[in-house]
Amino acid sequence: MLRLVAYLLAVLAVASGLAWLADRPGQLIINWQGREIETSVFHAVVILAALTATAIFVWSLLRQMWNSPATVGHFINKRRQRRGLDALSSGMIAIGAGDRATATKYAIQARKSLPNEPLTHLLRAQAAQLSGDRTTARRIFEAMLASPDTEQLGLRGLFVEAQREGAAEPAQQYSQRALRLNPKLAWPVDALFDLQCREGNWAGALDTLATARRNGHVEKTLADRRRAVLLTAQAQTLEDSDAEKALTLASEAHGLAPDLIPAAAIAGRILAGKGNTARAAKILQKTWSKAPHPDLSTAYAFARIGDSPRDRLDRVKQLAALRPYAVEASIAVATAAIEARDWDQARHALAPLLDQSRLTQRAATLMARVEGEQHGDKGRVREWLARAATAQRDAAWTADGIVAERWAAVSPATGQLDAFVWKVPVERVGETDEATLLHDRLRELVAAGDTHETDDVVDADPALPAEVAPPKPVANVAADVVDAEPVNSGTPDAAAEPAPEGRPVGATGGRSSYAGLPAGGPTAARRAKPDSSIAEPAAKLDGPPSQAARIDGSEAAAMAAAPSEPVVPAQRPAPNEPRIFVAPRAPDDPGAVDDFDEQPRLIHPNRAV
């Protein structure tokens, strides 16, 4: 619209000027070199305008002829550029769609049309990657490093190739170079941080985390959590060699993440060892109130050097009061009560966990300890161990489906930082049968060191190898336990002592039968009969369980024929049966001197304790 107005104004000005000249006629005389030219002013202006237009036309024609080669070249270049851009666009679409042949075709066309274009290098490299030609892709990315415009792109591509080939060192070097080139890039920060965590370079990971926080790549909350985990990993490494530095690191980690269990446990142990009981208790109580854990209760119980088992029990009860309904609170009180030989307190603490819906392996094994150390009732011990084999699993450090005995800063499967959580592991029943699950659980109990009786339960089944044998029913287990007792061996030192009054048959006086109950070894296992021949006669007896447990199939028949006659099973020699280790009492356990030995003893399985 503005152009039309300007054009009309220009025409109006020219017409007005011509009209003004036409209304004012005059003579224009030119005398030049003896010639005299006479014309009107109007004609002179028209002629001058025509000559100017002719001159402009001739000049334009000459300039066009002069620039014609450049014009032709420019036209050709424009057409080539248009074809190259079309090839780049189509090639990128083919890369996204996974069309290898089309992507390669357009990559070649783009290289012919736009050989120096950065996008052409990217299209060629991605087409080579799609085709599986990593050598060509790596060569293209290396060529990109020579240009400042494509250096970052080349580093990114080389890093990806190094990760695909599993080359951690080159990948780390490329990410470090990219980070120095542009600290605001997010991918080199994340990549370098992950690589440093995988290889355990905690100091380097802390520096990278600081860079990421400074450039806004991570939020403050996440950065504080990651820093706490890294500091805890350092403290865990230095706890035995440099306690002072480990304490400083663990204290800072506890300040950043009060719910981080390993940091509080390390700080509590070191402070307790230094005699700073008040500060250790404060740290442990703060973390316990957020996340109860056995390491915290253990460190809290031994926070004061020289405490007796009864004092430790009182301390643990104070700690458990902070989270009275937590499972770990009941387990901690029960463990401390067993060490203090306060059986009523131990049973009271375990009572809420003995329901079938809440029973866990640790609760069942602790009940086995109570039965064994309080009464020496081998049958009850084995009953609780059998229940432990089928009980729910306890919480453990778990990361990506892997259960670990100790906390670690990174996952052993993926290398992810802060992957371990304290929770109940997920059972993968579909991968194995029920018998194998029972075997695994028994082996876990043995590895946990909760009770030596588990080894006897494992060895009691002759149908499977000793290292994976599942537990037998309670009646069978009790039969094997009593069958292993030497009632008539013919030697003076092997004679069975009569049970004290009020003590179940098979009790071992004041000694803890939990520490080393004989299972009869392979000989007793071979004498085991099918369930129907043992459990059914035992169920018909009115006597105590210890008497019913003595009866197997042949003995049941003998008792049916002559109930008044005692049945004594034949004693079979077992020269190769293993010797069982009986653990000594705890150093600070004030048990009776006449009931507990000061030194460990090795006893024969078929000899009375």
What residue has token string 């039309």?
4
Using pLDDT thresholds of 50, 70 and 90, give the confidence band for residue 76: confident
Same domain flag for 567 and 535: yes
Residue 298 forms part of a structural domain: yes
Domain that holds residue 289: 189-379
With pLDDT > 90 as the criterion, what percentage of the chain qualifies? 44
Say whether pLDDT at 418 is over 60. yes
pLDDT score for 550: 36
Using pLDDT thresholds of 50, 70 and 90, give the confidence band for residue 77: confident
The Cα 196–Cα 179 span in angstroms is 14
For the stretch 487-513, pLDDT in tens is 333 333 433 334 333 333 333 333 333
Residue 358 forms part of a structural domain: yes
Same domain flag for 195 and 172: no
Say whether pLDDT at 465 is over 50. no
Using pLDDT thresholds of 50, 70 and 90, give the confidence band for residue 485: very low
CB 215 within 8 A of CB 189: yes
Tokens of 608: 């009375």
User: 198 in helix, strand or coil?
Assistant: helix
Average per-residue pLDDT for the chain: 75
Say whether pLDDT at 473 is over 70. no
Same domain flag for 85 and 56: no
Return the number of other C-beta atoms located less than 10 Å from residue 43's C-beta: 11
pLDDT score for 427: 64
Say whether pLDDT at 557 is over 60. no
CA dihedral 538, 543, 547, 551 (to 10 degrees): -30
Residue 387 forms part of a structural domain: no
Say whether pLDDT at 398 is over 50. yes
Residue with the larger pLDDT of the pair 338 and 483? 338
Say whether pLDDT at 554 is over 50. no
Same domain flag for 123 and 221: no
pLDDT score for 443: 57
Using pLDDT thresholds of 50, 70 and 90, give the confidence band for residue 458: very low
Using pLDDT thresholds of 50, 70 and 90, give the confidence band for residue 469: very low
User: 342 in helix, strand or coil?
Assistant: coil
Long-range contacts (CB closer than 8 Å, 24 or more residues apart) made by 37-46: 42/18, 45/18, 45/21
Q: How many residues does the chain have?
A: 609
pLDDT score for 49: 85
Say whether pLDDT at 74 is over 70. yes
How far is residue 490 CA from its own chain's centroid? Answer: 59
Using pLDDT thresholds of 50, 70 and 90, give the confidence band for residue 204: very high
CATH number at residue 238: 1.25.40
pLDDT score for 70: 76
Tokens of 321: 């009061």
For the stretch 258-310, pLDDT in tens is 999 999 999 999 999 999 999 999 999 999 999 999 999 999 999 998 899 99
pLDDT, average across residues 105-125: 89
For residue 603, the surrounding DSSP H or E stretch is: strand 601-603
Same domain flag for 207 and 324: yes
What residue has token string 């004041």?
510
Same domain flag for 212 and 175: no
pLDDT score for 494: 36
**Which of these ranges, 176-185, 510-519, 595-604, has the smallest mean pLDDT?**
510-519
User: 15 in helix, strand or coil?
Assistant: helix
Same domain flag for 139 and 213: no
Distances (CA, A) of 151 to 134, 160, 161: 19, 14, 15
- For the chain, the first-to-last Cα distance in angstroms comes to 116
Say whether pLDDT at 594 is over 60. no
In the 8-state DSSP scheme, what is residue 571?
Answer: P
Tokens of 282: 């404060």
Residue 506 forms part of a structural domain: yes
CB 197 within 8 A of CB 206: no
Distances (CA, A) of 97 to 110, 130, 327: 18, 11, 54
Using pLDDT thresholds of 50, 70 and 90, give the confidence band for residue 16: confident
Same domain flag for 227 and 367: yes
The number of folded domains in the chain is: 4
Domain end position, chosen among 345, 379, 413:
379
CB 75 within 8 A of CB 51: no
Concatenated DSSP letters of 69-120: HHHHHHHHHHHHHHHHHHHHHHHHHHHHHT-HHHHHHHHHHHHHH-TT-HHH
The Cα 318–Cα 193 span in angstroms is 41
Using pLDDT thresholds of 50, 70 and 90, give the confidence band for residue 149: confident
Same domain flag for 548 and 494: yes
The amino acid sitting at 517 is: L
**Which of these ranges, 165-169, 288-292, 432-436, 562-566, has the smallest mean pLDDT?**
562-566
Same domain flag for 139 and 59: no
Using pLDDT thresholds of 50, 70 and 90, give the confidence band for residue 570: very low
For residue 422, the surrounding DSSP H or E stretch is: strand 421-423
Find all residues with CB under 8 Å of 520, minimum gap 6, and list them. 460, 480, 481, 483, 484, 527, 605, 606
CATH number at residue 86: 1.25.40.10
Residue 496 forms part of a structural domain: yes
Using pLDDT thresholds of 50, 70 and 90, give the confidence band for residue 345: very high
Query: For the chain, what is the largest distance between any 2 Cα atoms, rounded to a whole number of angstroms?
Result: 173
Domain end position, chosen among 379, 413, 445:
379
The Cα 169–Cα 183 span in angstroms is 20
Say whether pLDDT at 238 is over 80. yes
The Cα 299–Cα 390 span in angstroms is 30
Residue with the larger pLDDT of the pair 69 and 302? 302
**Which of these ranges, 146-160, 403-417, 585-599, has the smallest mean pLDDT?**
585-599
pLDDT score for 449: 44
Residue 167 forms part of a structural domain: yes
Return the number of other C-beta atoms located less than 10 Å from residue 337's C-beta: 26
CB 457 within 8 A of CB 466: no
**β-bridge pairing 421-423 and 580-582:** unpaired
pLDDT, average across residues 29-55: 82
How far is residue 114 CA from its own chain's centroid? Answer: 48
Residue 19 forms part of a structural domain: yes
pLDDT score for 438: 53
Domain end position, chosen among 133, 154, 183:
183
Same domain flag for 355 and 493: no
Using pLDDT thresholds of 50, 70 and 90, give the confidence band for residue 531: very low
The Cα 214–Cα 189 span in angstroms is 11
What residue has token string 């450039």?
215
Tokens of 469: 């044998």
Say whether pLDDT at 156 is over 50. yes
The Cα 442–Cα 434 span in angstroms is 13
Residue with the larger pLDDT of the pair 290 and 460? 290
Residue 608 forms part of a structural domain: no
Residue with the larger pLDDT of the pair 25 and 201? 201
Same domain flag for 329 and 442: no
Nearest to 138 by CA among 155, 117, 114: 155
